[in-house]
Amino acid sequence: MKKEVVRVWKSRSGITLVELLVTLAVAMLLGTGIYQVFAGTVRSYSTNEALARLQEDGRMALAFLRSEIQGAGYLGCLSDPDTVESGLNNPDFFAVNFTRGIYGLEASAENTWRDSAGEVSPTATGLNAMALDPPPLTGSDILVIRGMLPIGQPMTLTGSMDSDGNFTVDSLPEGLLQEDGGDILMVADCHTAVIFQTTSCSDTGVIARGPTSDLVPGNASVPLAGGFSTGAEVFVPQTQIFYVANDPITNIPSLFSMSRPTRSLADLVISGVDNFQVRYGVDTNGDGMVNGYVNANAVTDWGRVLSVRFGLLLRTPLISDPNAPADAGTYDVSGNGATDFTAPGDRRMRMVFSGTVGLRNRIR
């Protein structure tokens, strides 16, 4: 019986050049397609992330400003700022001038701002009193809100003032007041209030005040000595100043908040703010309703301001995609129909956020 032999023929010629070129071409097409899909996905993700961050920052800014504006002019259980008496050497001391619970400056010409009294510059009395650090950028408004430092429960008198105007409170928030004095406080009941500067404060809650010569602004006298008794409340007044400045660290225009008289440097609120505009709802006929919104330089009586309308123009960080559309558009930030900001033609996304807030301490 013959054994059957099976032969296997192997080709030694391999693939041809044409086949190789076809294979490379197909692979290149597939690779290019995959790269384009990947690059498009990355760009889309980057754009969506920047847009989400922009919207989140805008919502945070709106919520923060609404909360601060609503509390403008808060005086405890008082409702009339005319009942507040100043015992300071300078009754118009900027940080605690509660005749203007809300106040503002309108961005005017280059490096100037304006209120109804006229034009001011960063070195003039109005802005100099604010001592803004970092300095404000031109083109954006400045908003000033006066209220009380949130410390939880206010301090409460445990007895009547003595003949020198000293008194004792039930508790002192830790680290709030200086032992050697200099803090500005307001003591109030539901009939009147007095703003004064402390001369000393003990850890037992004894607060002293009196005429001073080494404090600024200092006390002119001891007002209403013995005029407040058990149950009167003690607050820490503060002035919040909102404005746009370049961040000293990143050099990015941002919204800052300066607290007076407690802070010497402004706090960053939101980064990437190109413009900030504020208009004020004024009651012109005394009926307790807003008759129109005007800029700060048109407000002649800040006691008639019942609401605030504000706008913020936020921007994203610079988008690296060279195919992203350039932004050279104009933006109406204040909502009055006029252009407040013209984009420089960069490849950032921008969005206007706006809100209208009533002053709950003035609306009846």
Among 98, 350, 88, 73, CA closest to 210: 88
The Cα 49–Cα 17 span in angstroms is: 47
The mean pLDDT of 287-300, rounded to a whole number, is: 92
* Cα–Cα distance for residue pair 59/76, rounded to 1 Å: 29
Q: What is the pLDDT of residue 45?
A: 65
3-state secondary structure at position 113: strand
pTM for the model:
0.84
CA dist 334 → 41, 67, 115, 270 (Å): 36, 19, 17, 18
Residue 225 has what pLDDT? 58
* Segment 324-342 mean pLDDT: 91
Residues 333 and 318: beta-carbon distance below 8 Å:
no
Contacts of 245 (CB under 8 A, 6+ apart): 132, 134, 135, 136, 137, 253, 254, 256, 266
| Nearby residues of 77 by Cβ (< 8 Å), 6 or more positions away | 188, 189, 190, 233
**Helical H runs in the chain?**
17-70, 125-130
pLDDT score of 102: 92
Site of tokens 């106040």: 103
Mean pLDDT along residues 298-322: 88
- Label the pairing between strands 206-209 and 193-201: antiparallel
The total number of residues shown for the chain amounts to: 364
Look at residue 276 and tell me whether its pLDDT is greater than 60.
Answer: yes
- Summarize the confidence of residues 112-138 as an average pLDDT: 84
pLDDT of residue 280: 96
pLDDT digits (tens, 9 = 90+) for 126-154: 788 888 889 999 999 999 999 888 877 78
DSSP symbols for 11-37? --S---HHHHHHHHHHHHHHHHHHHHH
Give the chain's mean pLDDT.
85
Domain ranges of the chain: 51-70+101-149+237-358
